[in-house]
């Protein structure tokens, strides 16, 4: 197989690996998949953690490993890179849409350095109301906060702008 063909096959396999904690998003949607290269006869894949302590990274590595082997690729190397630091700005438009459909409010706006006590203005993913309030800065995973909608009274996860 040509290098381009091998890369295409690896890319296709990697694109179908889902985030274990937000199973509607692929690692491509999330921006966790940074690069797929072919060096000689080896596929090299770079992934980057969302947060430093993200426990999903090991599972993602394992799932990538499985997906590549299932695609008939057995010479590969998966590396974790830290720079440039992951940001929610890398979430694909498709990823944002899938998040909202899944009931998780996508990040509001662009990532930037924030003031000490500023907070994001977040729309309810169920009813679309802007009348929401933050219940907890830290939600069920490192990348989410817990909000509540004052219009429809439903609590929801918010994928923090980061």
Q: How far is the CB of 59 from other proteins (least distance, A)?
A: 13
Give the binding site for other proteins (CB under 8 A). 49, 51-55, 81-86, 111, 113-114, 116-117, 135-140, 142, 146, 160, 162
Burial of 111 (0-12, 13-18, 19+ CB in 10 A): middle
Judged by CB, which is closer to other proteins: 54, or 68?
Answer: 54
The label of the residue with tokens 């695609």 reads 71
Give the nearest distance from C-beta 119 to other proteins in angstroms.
9
CA 114 – CA 147 distance, rounded (Å): 19
> 8 vs 120, which CB is nearer to other proteins?
120
Per-position b or e across 53-64, b if 16+ CB within 10 A of its CB: ebebbeebbebb
Q: Cβ 32 to other proteins, closest distance in Å?
A: 13
Q: Closer CB to other proteins, residue 1 or residue 136?
A: 136
β-bridge partners, 35: 46
> Residue 4 or residue 113: which is nearer to other proteins going by CB?
113
- CB of 41 vs other proteins, minimal distance in Å: 27
């Amino acid at each position: 197989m040509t290098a381009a063909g091998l890369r295409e096959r690896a890319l296709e396999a990697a694109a179908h690996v889902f985030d274990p904690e937000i199973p509607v998003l692929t690692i491509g949607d999330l921006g966790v998949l940074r690069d797929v290269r072919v060096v000689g006869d080896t596929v090299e894949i770079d992934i980057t953690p969302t947060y430093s302590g993200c426990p999903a990274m090991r599972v993602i590595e394992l799932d990538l490993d499985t997906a590549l082997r299932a695609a008939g690729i057995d010479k590969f190397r998966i590396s974790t890179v830290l720079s440039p630091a992951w940001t929610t700005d890398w979430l694909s438009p498709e990823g944002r849409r899938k998040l909202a459909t899944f009931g998780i409010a996508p990040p509001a706006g662009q990532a930037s350095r924030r003031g000490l006590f500023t907070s994001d203005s977040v729309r309810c993913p169920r009813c679309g109301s802007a009348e929401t309030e933050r219940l907890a800065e830290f939600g069920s995973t490192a990348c989410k906060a817990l909000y509540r909608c004052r219009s429809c009274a439903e609590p929801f996860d918010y994928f923090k702008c980061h």
